[in-house]
Amino acid sequence: MSKVISVVSGKGGTGKTLFASNMGALLAMGGNSVVLIDMDLGLRNLDIYLGLENNVVYNVMDVVSGMCRIKQALVRDKRFKSLYLMSAAPPRDERDITPLHIKVLCERLKSEFDYIIIDGSAGVGENMDLAVAAADTVVVITEPEAASIRDADVVDRELEKMGIKDKCCVVNKVDPELMALGVVPSLSDISHSLRLRIAGLIQYDSNIYIATNSGVPIVLKVGTYIEKNFSRIVKRIIENE
């Protein structure tokens, strides 16, 4: 059965787009058909992280406003058998979009794709409501930092109010040395502060930073510790462990 997975955060810059793009890539590498939707309206990045910024013609706003058909807004990533991007509108696009639009769009995409992954924006409010409107599973990305953890908890409480039960978090940009020194929250501090299930940790690694800048999902480097770690996390999320 097809699944919609939304990636959100409280604080900005925690790694949502990095995570969404690599999760999409891994699922596509595993033989699934996947569509990644950029719902960071006005602040899109997913096209750059996939190296597809020159291929985007139509975007999600064009689809929901009826300006184009769904197929016209799907940009294929040719490195994979079945990975597509639906980009967000550029800044200052003031056309209306509602959670119902997203629900209808995802319902239609479900007939063609195994996974629909939504890259959301940071924070709570209307933008988060859009990002999670059709979600079967929500992944909250946080950093091992007091402010980021508190904001992740705020997001979790909002998701709870919305009745979303299948949710977890991923702790990104972990620096094991700082954690060992006790100058940033430890894993046990994080799990005490959050009610969210922790699906995994991702280390801070400059190779990740380089990969997002060059439009290459880092999991394409099969066999590296980063790819193996991502694979384990994605498996846990998919299997709801």
Ligand X SMILES: Nc1ncnc2c1ncn2[C@@H]1O[C@H](COP(=O)(O)OP(=O)(O)OP(=O)(O)O)[C@@H](O)[C@H]1O
Interacting residue ranges for ligand X, rule: CB under 6 A? 9, 12-18, 40, 45, 122, 172-173, 202, 204-205, 208-209, 212
Secondary structure (DSSP) of 136-183:
SEEEEEE-SSHHHHHHHHHHHHHHHHTT---EEEEEEEE-HHHHHHTS
Q: Which is nearer to ligand X, 9 or 32 (CB)?
A: 9
The one of ligand X, Mg ion, none whose footprint includes residue 209, by CB under 5 to 8 A per kind, is ligand X
Of residues 6, 9, 17, 33, which one binds Mg ion by CB under 5 A? Answer: 17
Contact set for Mg ion, span 34-53 (CB under 5 A): 40, 45
> Taking CB within 5 to 8 Å according to partner kind, which of ligand X, Mg ion, none is near residue 204?
ligand X
Bin 55: left if φ > 0, else alpha if -120 < ψ < 50, else beta.
Answer: alpha
CB distance 233 to 199 below 8 Å: yes
Q: What residue 167 binds from Mg ion, ligand X, none (CB within 5 to 8 A, per partner kind)?
A: none
Residue of 184, 234, 232 whose CA lies nearest to 204: 184
Handedness of CA 28, 38, 6, 216 (dihedral sign): positive
Residue 139 touches which member of ligand X, Mg ion, none, C-beta under 5-8 Å by kind: none
Smallest gap from Cβ 40 to Mg ion, in A, equals 5
Q: Which does 212 bind (CB under 5 to 8 A by kind): ligand X, Mg ion, none?
A: ligand X
Indicate the DSSP class of residue 5.
E
Min dist CB 143 to ligand X, Å, is: 9
Residue 20 CB, shortest distance to ligand X, in Å, is 8
The DSSP 8-state label assigned to residue 220 in this structure reads G
Q: Which residues pair with 115 in a beta bridge?
A: 3, 34
Exposure string of 82-113, with b = 16+ CB inside 10 Å and e = fewer, is: bbbbbbbbeeeeeeebeeebbeebbeebbeeb
Nearer to ligand X, 29 or 202 (CB): 202
Residue 122 interacting entry, from Mg ion, ligand X, none, C-beta within 5 to 8 Å by type? ligand X
The span from the first CA to the last CA of the chain, in angstroms, equals: 18
Report the nearest approach of ligand X to the CB of residue 151 (Å): 11
Least distance CB 12 / ligand X (angstroms): 3
Minimal distance, residue 123 CB to ligand X, in Å: 8
Applying CB under 5 A, does 127 fall inside the site for Mg ion? Answer: no
Residues lying near Mg ion in the complex (CB under 5 A) are found at 16-17, 40, 45
